[in-house]
Structure 1
Amino acid sequence: MGRLGTLLALARSAIVAAAIRGAGPGGRAARSRPLDFAPFATALDAMDGGRRAELADLLGSASLAELGVLLAAGSLTSVELTLHYLGRIRRFDDELGAIIELNPQALAEAEAADQRRAAGRQLGALDGIPVALKDNIETAPPLHTTAGAAALANNVTEADAAIVSALRAAGLVVLGKTNLSELAGASCKVPGVSALGGATRNPYGATFSPGGSSSGSAVAVAAGLCAASVGTETSGSLIAPAAFNGVVALKPSFGLVGDAGIIPLVRFQDCVGPMATSVPGVALLLAAMTGTTVAELPTLALDGVHVGVLAADILSQPRDLEDPRDNAAMLARITDGLSASGANTVEAELVVRPELAGYEGHYFKVVLGGVTNDTLGYVAEHSQLKTVAELMVFNLAEPKTRMPCGQFYLAAANLLQISAEAYEVAALAHRDATQAVLADTFAAAGVQVLVSLTNLHSALYAGAGYPAITVPLGLRANGMPTGATFIGRPGRDAQLLAFAAAFERATRLRVPPVLAD
C-alpha cells in the first residue's frame, strides 16, 4: 500500500471511529485543556449575590452600545461586567464549549479601564467592554494561539495580531479565546470541533449544528458569555455560525481588516470580522478593529433601495447543516421585512457565463492548496512539524485526543500535494470567476444589494471578496435559528451595514436562547 496509502487508510478509519463516538453537534468530544478560573476565583466568589442578580437583569438584553452607556453613566464598572461574563462562562461553558482559554489578565485590563474612566481618559465608546477572540488570532503572552490543534498546544506568540492591537487601543478587554473548527476548518469536516477545545454546542439545541469555523465566537455571543467577539472567514465561517446561533456577523470586504497575525487557511480570501447581537454592535466593533473613529451607524433607510432576493436558490437549498423544509416561510420573512423597510424587492438569479460553468467545483482545490501552503506554513514555523504528512502522523499517534473528528482535509491535501504555484493560479482563477458572477448578477438585476439565506452563497461572496452580513430571522419550525444574509458590493461595507440595520429595525426577529444549568 505504501506510506501514503497507509496514512489515508488510517485517517479514514479514524473518521469512522470519530463518527461512532458521536463527535460533533450533540456529541461529547471534550476539551483537553480545562479552563483556568484560578485568577478570578476569589473575585467571583466574593461578588455579592444581590449585585450579581442586579447585573443579570441589567445586562440580559443590553446591546454593545448600551453597555458603553451604562459604563459611562457609572451604572456598572468594567470589573463588574468582566466578572459577570466570567461567571456565566463558569456556569454554562462546560456544556457549550465556546471558550478554549481565559485571559488571566482580564480583570487587570478591566481595572485599568475603570481607572481611565475615573480619570477622564476614556479611550472610546467600547473602553472596558470584554470581547472574545477566535483562537486562530494571535495574542501576546500569556495567552496561547492554537487554532484548536494539538500540534500548536504550546504556541505562544510574541505579539498581538494587528486587529488585537487595535482593539486594545480602543480599550476593549480581552476576555479569552474561543473554540473553532480545528485549524479554521483545515483538519476535519465536523464544524466546531477541535482537539484542544472539544465540541462547541449550539445553545438552541444539542442536535443543531453550531456552524463553523468561528463556532465558539458565535456561541459565546449568543449565550451571553461575552459582549461581542471576533471571528474569521474563508468561506462561510463567520456567516454560518452567526446565523445558526441567532447573532449578527459581518464578513468585510477582502482587505478591509488587516490579517497580520492570523493563522491562514486561504490567504487570498481570509477575512477577520465582528460578531454581536445587533447590527450597530457589529458596526462599533468593526470601527474599533479598523482603528477608525467610532461613530453612530448611519440611519440610512431601505426606502426605494433596489434589493435582489435570490429566491430560487433559497427555495432549492440542499439539506446539509440545517433543515430547509421551511425555507418558503423563511423567504416570506425576508420579503416581508424588506417590504416593511420600504425596499423595492425583485427576484434575482445568478448570472453565470458559459465559460464559468462549474466554477464552484474549483474551490475544493483552492482550500487544499491553502491547507498545504498557508496553514501548514504557519504550523511549520511554530512547531516541529514541517509537512501535512508529518502533522497527520503526529495526530495519528494519539487519535482519540489529537483528531476527535478525523482529518479529512489534511488527508486530501496530502494526497493531492498542490504546489504553491498551482494553488495561486487556482485561487486567483476562483476569485476572477466569482467576481464575474456577482458583478453580472448585480448588473442584470439592477440592485444595490443581494439577499440570501445563512451561508448559502458563501462560496460566491467570499471567493469574490465581497462583503456580507447576516441578520437574525428568528427560529425555524424545529427551533434552530437562521439568518438573512445581505451581500453588498466590494468596498461598500458601511452601506451594507446601514441596509442591514434598517432591515433589523423593521423585523426584530432575534430570539435569545434559554440556557439551563
Structure 2
Amino acid sequence: MGRLGTLLALARSAIVAAAIRGAGPGGRAARSRPLDFAPFATALDAMDGGRRAELADLLGSASLAELGVLLAAGSLTSVELTLHYLGRIRRFDDELGAIIELNPQALAEAEAADQRRAAGRQLGALDGIPVALKDNIETAPPLHTTAGAAALANNVTEADAAIVSALRAAGLVVLGKTNLSELAGASCKVPGVSALGGATRNPYGATFSPGGSSSGSAVAVAAGLCAASVGTETSGSLIAPAAFNGVVALKPSFGLVGDAGIIPLVRFQDCVGPMATSVPGVALLLAAMTGTTVAELPTLALDGVSVGVLAADILSQPRDLEDSRDNAAMLARITDGLSASGANTVEAELVVRPELAGYEGHFFKVVLGGLTNDTLGYVGAHSELKTVAELMAFNLAEPKTRMPCGQFYLAAANLLQISAEAYEVAALAHRDATQAVLADTFAAAGVQVLVSLTNLHSALYAGAGYPAITVPLGLRANGMPTGATFIGRPGRDAQLLAFAAAFERATRLRVPPVLAD
C-alpha cells in the first residue's frame, strides 16, 4: 500500500472511530477561554421577561429575509435581536460549544444599525442582523483569529478579512466567532474539536457528528444562536456540517468570494461560503459577501430541467460519519422532491477515465502539502512557530490542552515533508482530474445539475472548484439530519441557488432541533 496509502487508511479509520465516539457521554470537551458576557450582562438582565418571550415567539422560525422585514417594520430593533441571540448563547452554548469568542462591540454595532434605520440611512436588507464568523476568518481588534489552535491563541490581526469588510458595509452585526475543526481539520482527527474551542456538539444528539470543519458555524445557525453564519470549505467543510445539522450552506464556485484574510489550508480550492436556515437566506448573505445583486429564485426554476441523481453512489455510501442504512428512503425523498419540482430526473454515474482512477486518494497528499506550506506559512507569520515540527513540539509541551485529540495530520505532514513545488504539482493535478471527472459526468448524463447526498462527492466538486449547495432532507431514522446536495456547473452559482430553492419549496423537510435548558 505504501506510506501514503497506509496513512490515508489510518486517517479514515480514526475519523470514523472519532465520529462514533462523538464528544463522549461525560460531556463535551470544554473551551479553554470562557465566553465573556460582561459587555452585555446588564442589558441581558434588564430585558423584560415578557418581551423576551415575545421575541422568542416572533423569531423562532423567522428566516433571514423575514428578520429584515421585522426590523424594517419596527417590530423589533437590532439591539433586541442581538440580545435575543446572546441570551440563547448564554443558555445553550456551554453544551453546544458552537461559539469560540463573542464580539464585545456587538451591541454597539446593533445600536448603530438602529440609528441608521431611524435616520433613513439603512445600508441594505440585512442591516442590523447578527452574523457569526468561522474563526479562521480574520477580524479586526479586539476579536482574535485562531483557527482553534493554541499556537494562535493571542493572534489579533490589524484588519478584517475582505468578506468581513463587505458584511460590515452591508450593515451586518458581527456577533462573534465560531468554533471549528482545528486548523480547518488539518490537525485533530475528531470533527468539530479544537484546542481553544473544545468540542462542538450536534444539537440533534450528542452521538451525532457535527461535521467539520465549519462545525460551529452550522451548529450556531441550527440552534438559533445567530441569524446566519459564514464558514469555509476545502473539501466538504461547509456542506457536511450544514447537512448534519439541518441547515443550508453554499460552497461557491472557486474564486467567486475573495479569500483575502482567511487562514489557508489548500489555497488552490479553499472557499468561503454562507450558511442559513433556508436557500433564500443563503442567497441574501452571499450577495452581501460579494457586494452583488441577490440571485433570483423563481418558483419554477426546476420545471423541465434535466437533473442527474447519483443514485448508485448514494445507495452504496459508507457509514463513516452518518448511518447510511436508510439511504434508499433518503434517495426516495430526493426523487420525490425533484418530481414535485417539475424536474426531469435521470440516474447519473460518475465517468472516471482509467488514468484518473484513484483521484480521491491523491487528495490526502494535497492536504498535507497545504498544511505544510499554506497553513504553516500563516502560523509562521503570526507566531514564532515556522515549521510543522515546531508546531508539533509546541503542542506536545502541553498535550492535554494544546492537542486534546492528538495531531495525526501534523504528524503525517511532518513525516512526508512535502515541498512547495511538489504540493503545487499535486494540487493542480487533483484540480485537473476532478474537473475532468465532473465535466465528463455532466456531458454523459446530459444534465444541468447533479444531485448527491450530504458531502458524499465533496472530493470532486471541491477539488474541481464547482459550486455545491446542500438543502435539508429531514431526519434519518435515528434522528440525525441529512441533506440533498446539488452540484452545479462552475460560475453558475445563481442558477444553482434557484434550483435548490425550488427543491426546498417543494419539500420543506427541515426539522429544527429541540434544545433543553
TM-score, normalised with respect to structure 2: 0.96
Contact residue 22 and residue 206 of structure 2 kept, 8 A: no
* 1:480 to 2:477 alignment: no
Tell me: CA distance 1:7–1:91, structure 2 relative to 1, closer, same or farther (3 Å).
same
SS of equivalent to 1:122: coil
Contact residue 125 and residue 294 of structure 1 kept, 8 A: no
Tell me: CA distance 1:490–1:332, structure 2 relative to 1, closer, same or farther (3 Å).
same
SS of equivalent to 2:230: strand
Match of 1:314 in 2: 314
Contact residue 7 and residue 393 of structure 1 kept, 8 A: no
Contact residue 380 and residue 387 of structure 1 kept, 8 A: yes
Match of 2:134 in 1: 134
Tell me: CA distance 1:25–1:196, structure 2 relative to 1, closer, same or farther (3 Å).
farther
Tell me: CA distance 1:411–1:141, structure 2 relative to 1, closer, same or farther (3 Å).
same
Q: Could you report, residue by residue, the CA deviation over 1:411-434 in whole angstroms, capped at 9, with x for unpaired residues? A: 000000000000000000000000
* C-alpha distance in 2 between matches for 1:2 and 1:130: 49
Tell me: CA distance 1:3–1:31, structure 2 relative to 1, closer, same or farther (3 Å).
farther
Tell me: CA distance 1:361–1:128, structure 2 relative to 1, closer, same or farther (3 Å).
same
Deviation at 1:298, TM superposition (A): 4.0
* 1:261 to 2:245 alignment: no
* C-alpha distance in 1 between matches for 2:291 and 2:217: 21
Q: Could you report, residue by residue, the CA deviation over 1:240-281 in whole angstroms, capped at 9, with x for unpaired residues? A: 000000000000000000000000000000000000000000
4+ residue segments displaced more than 3 Å? 1-27, 293-300
How many equivalent pairs are there? 517
Contact residue 24 and residue 192 of structure 1 kept, 8 A: no
Deviation at 1:27, TM superposition (A): 5.3
Larger mean Cα displacement after TM superposition, 387-396 or 290-299: 290-299
Tell me: CA distance 1:10–1:308, structure 2 relative to 1, closer, same or farther (3 Å).
closer
Contact residue 201 and residue 219 of structure 1 kept, 8 A: yes
* C-alpha distance in 1 between matches for 2:122 and 2:416: 53
Q: Which runs of 5+ in 1 are unaligned?
A: none
Larger mean Cα displacement after TM superposition, 131-140 or 185-194: 185-194
Deviation at 1:21, TM superposition (A): 10
Tell me: CA distance 1:2–1:151, structure 2 relative to 1, closer, same or farther (3 Å).
farther
Tell me: CA distance 1:121–1:309, structure 2 relative to 1, closer, same or farther (3 Å).
same
Deviation at 1:357, TM superposition (A): 1.1
Contact residue 28 and residue 201 of structure 2 kept, 8 A: no
Deviation at 1:293, TM superposition (A): 3.2
SS of equivalent to 2:39: coil
Q: Could you report, residue by residue, the CA deviation over 1:316-351 in whole angstroms, capped at 9, with x for unpaired residues? A: 001101000000000000000000000000000000
1:198-213 paired onto structure 2 within 5 Å:
198-213=198-213
* C-alpha distance in 2 between matches for 1:400 and 1:324: 34
* C-alpha distance in 2 between matches for 1:471 and 1:9: 30
* C-alpha distance in 2 between matches for 1:163 and 1:26: 38
Tell me: CA distance 1:502–1:18, structure 2 relative to 1, closer, same or farther (3 Å).
closer
% identical aligned pairs: 98
Match of 1:245 in 2: 245
Contact residue 19 and residue 190 of structure 2 kept, 8 A: no
* C-alpha distance in 2 between matches for 1:295 and 1:341: 19
* C-alpha distance in 2 between matches for 1:11 and 1:508: 36
* C-alpha distance in 2 between matches for 1:411 and 1:60: 45
* C-alpha distance in 1 between matches for 2:16 and 2:470: 34
Deviation at 1:235, TM superposition (A): 0.1
Contact residue 248 and residue 282 of structure 1 kept, 8 A: yes
Contact residue 210 and residue 241 of structure 1 kept, 8 A: yes
Tell me: CA distance 1:42–1:229, structure 2 relative to 1, closer, same or farther (3 Å).
same
Contact residue 23 and residue 206 of structure 2 kept, 8 A: no
Contact residue 253 and residue 491 of structure 1 kept, 8 A: yes
* C-alpha distance in 2 between matches for 1:325 and 1:17: 18
Tell me: CA distance 1:69–1:354, structure 2 relative to 1, closer, same or farther (3 Å).
same
* C-alpha distance in 2 between matches for 1:6 and 1:323: 25
Contact residue 307 and residue 344 of structure 2 kept, 8 A: yes
Deviation at 1:294, TM superposition (A): 4.0
Q: Could you report, residue by residue, the CA deviation over 1:263-313 in whole angstroms, capped at 9, with x for unpaired residues? A: 000000000000000000000000000011346534452110000000000
Tell me: CA distance 1:458–1:417, structure 2 relative to 1, closer, same or farther (3 Å).
same
SS of equivalent to 1:364: helix
Tell me: CA distance 1:7–1:485, structure 2 relative to 1, closer, same or farther (3 Å).
closer
Q: Which runs of 5+ in 2 are unaligned?
A: none
Tell me: CA distance 1:222–1:22, structure 2 relative to 1, closer, same or farther (3 Å).
closer
Contact residue 248 and residue 472 of structure 1 kept, 8 A: yes
Tell me: CA distance 1:11–1:505, structure 2 relative to 1, closer, same or farther (3 Å).
closer
Match of 2:54 in 1: 54
TM-score, normalised with respect to structure 1: 0.96
Contact residue 15 and residue 191 of structure 2 kept, 8 A: no
Tell me: CA distance 1:3–1:248, structure 2 relative to 1, closer, same or farther (3 Å).
closer
Q: Could you report, residue by residue, the CA deviation over 1:25-81 in whole angstroms, capped at 9, with x for unpaired residues? A: 985211001000000000000000000000000000000000000000000000000
Contact residue 25 and residue 208 of structure 1 kept, 8 A: no
Q: Could you report, residue by residue, the CA deviation over 1:450-498 in whole angstroms, capped at 9, with x for unpaired residues? A: 0000000000000000000000000000000000000000000000000
SS of equivalent to 2:38: coil
Contact residue 11 and residue 411 of structure 1 kept, 8 A: no
Contact residue 18 and residue 406 of structure 1 kept, 8 A: no
* C-alpha distance in 2 between matches for 1:12 and 1:338: 33
SS of equivalent to 1:86: helix
1:275-286 paired onto structure 2 within 5 Å:
275-286=275-286
Tell me: CA distance 1:86–1:481, structure 2 relative to 1, closer, same or farther (3 Å).
same
Contact residue 14 and residue 405 of structure 1 kept, 8 A: no
* C-alpha distance in 1 between matches for 2:390 and 2:8: 13
* C-alpha distance in 1 between matches for 2:181 and 2:8: 21
Contact residue 246 and residue 512 of structure 1 kept, 8 A: yes
Tell me: CA distance 1:485–1:238, structure 2 relative to 1, closer, same or farther (3 Å).
same
Larger mean Cα displacement after TM superposition, 168-177 or 10-19: 10-19
* C-alpha distance in 1 between matches for 2:128 and 2:381: 34
